[in-house]
């Protein structure tokens, strides 16, 4: 039995007062504090301390959008996983398509990030997904398979056990286009097969696979009804308390 996880990726949005309003609304919603569901918010790094203190008395978890794979050193402007840990961060996104395409993070770097997060007892949420061009050429499954394989085959079973994977088709991110629930299910099942192949079937069965890409209150329930969709990674709709709460309630 996999506990659903709904994660809000705020991306580069927010300011102190808006964050406080949003987090206060989430904390005061009883439906987000149940054991049957895990809820996570990933604010920009500079607001992690603010979120850490506002979420202190709640079950809502804190996630980071980014960090550097080294634990310390001459990496001006970067933040290390152990630093995130000090601020109550329990999850971190790795391999988001915006990091892959805009910041040239490749598979080797992403594997190092996963390992650094795991060493700091932070759960990496490994994001994978094909571009529009790859999707149109019918290469979606192949691309996703390769992205999953490059990380999973290099981790030991205990490490894979501590992983979450998010399938985010790049063509569905911020575009209003969503994968159909059936297509999402097909890709999620393939991801689970790949993980079983490179680790162990029982680990693959327990692995949570989130869907991301224009998830909204209107489409969340149909996606969550799919057997291999274990939650969502929500961008735009996570900035609006009512929308994010409605998505969580659908999980």
Choose between 66 and 214: whose C-beta lies nearer to ligand 13P.
Answer: 214
Task: Show contacts with ligand 13P in window 118-157 (CB under 6 A).
Answer: none
Choose between 174 and 201: whose C-beta lies nearer to ligand 13P.
Answer: 174
213 binds ligand 13P (CB under 6 A): yes
Choose between 65 and 199: whose C-beta lies nearer to ligand 13P.
Answer: 65
Give the interface segment with ligand 13P, choosing from 135-143, 182-190, 191-199, 230-238 (CB under 6 A): 230-238
Q: What secondary structure, in 3-state letters, does 149-163 show? A: HHHHCCCCHHHHHCC
Residue 160 — φ and ψ, nearest 5°? -65, -35
Residue 8, beta-bridge partner list: 41, 234
DSSP conformational letter for 199: S
Whole-angstrom CA distances from 81 to 47, 66, 97, 116 are 16, 9, 20, 6
215 binds ligand 13P (CB under 6 A): yes
CA 113 to chain CA centroid, nearest Å: 14
Assigned token pair, 221: 């329930």
Out of 128, 152, 204, 233, the only residue in the binding site for ligand 13P (CB under 6 A) is: 233
How many residues interact with ligand 13P (rule CB under 6 A)? 14
Provide, rounded to whole angstroms, the least separation between the CB of residue 55 and ligand 13P. Answer: 19
Residue 139 — φ and ψ, nearest 5°? -100, 10
State yes or no: is 134 an active-site residue.
no
Q: Which helix (H) or strand (E) holds 111?
A: helix 107-119
Out of 32, 92, 164, 234, the only residue in the binding site for ligand 13P (CB under 6 A) is: 234
Give the interface segment with ligand 13P, choosing from 109-117, 187-195, 202-210, 235-243 (CB under 6 A): 235-243
173 binds ligand 13P (CB under 6 A): yes
Please state the length of the chain. 251
Provide, rounded to whole angstroms, the least separation between the CB of residue 202 and ligand 13P. Answer: 28
Cα(99)–Cα(112) distance, integer angstroms: 14
Q: Which helix (H) or strand (E) holds 72?
A: none
Per annotation, catalytic residue among 38, 130, 159, 168: 168
Per annotation, catalytic residue among 96, 98, 105, 130: 96
Dihedral angle computed from the Cα positions of residues 235, 239, 243 and 246, in that order, rounded to the nearest 10 degrees: 80
43 binds ligand 13P (CB under 6 A): no
- Point out which residues bind ligand 13P (CB under 6 A): 9, 96, 168, 173-174, 212-215, 233-237
């Amino acid at each position: 039995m996999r506990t659903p996880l709904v994660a809000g990726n705020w991306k580069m949005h927010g300011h102190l007062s808006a964050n406080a309003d949003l987090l206060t609304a989430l904390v005061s919603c009883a439906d987000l504090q149940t054991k049957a569901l895990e809820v996570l918010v990933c604010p920009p790094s500079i607001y992690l301390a603010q979120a850490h203190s506002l979420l202190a008395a709640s079950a809502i978890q804190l996630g980071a959008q980014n960090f550097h794979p080294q634990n310390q050193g001459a990496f001006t402007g970067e933040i290390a996983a152990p630093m995130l840990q000090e601020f109550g961060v329990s999850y971190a996104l790795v391999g988001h398509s915006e990091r892959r395409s805009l910041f040239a993070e490749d598979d080797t770097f992403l594997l190092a990030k996963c390992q650094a997060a795991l060493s700091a007892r932070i759960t990496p949420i490994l994001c994978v997904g094909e571009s529009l061009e790859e999707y149109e050429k019918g290469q979606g499954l192949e691309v996703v398979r390769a992205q999953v394989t490059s990380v999973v085959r290099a981790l030991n079973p205990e490490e894979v056990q501590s992983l979450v994977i998010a399938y985010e088709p790049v063509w569905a991110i911020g575009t209003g286009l969503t994968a159909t629930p059936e297509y999402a299910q097909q890709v999620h099942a393939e991801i689970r097969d790949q993980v079983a192949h490179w680790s162990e079937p029982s680990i693959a069965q327990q692995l949570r696979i989130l869907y991301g890409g224009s998830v909204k209150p209107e489409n969340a329930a149909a996606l969550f009804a799919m057997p291999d969709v274990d939650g969502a990674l929500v961008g735009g709709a996570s900035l609006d308390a009512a929308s994010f709460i409605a998505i969580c309630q659908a999980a």
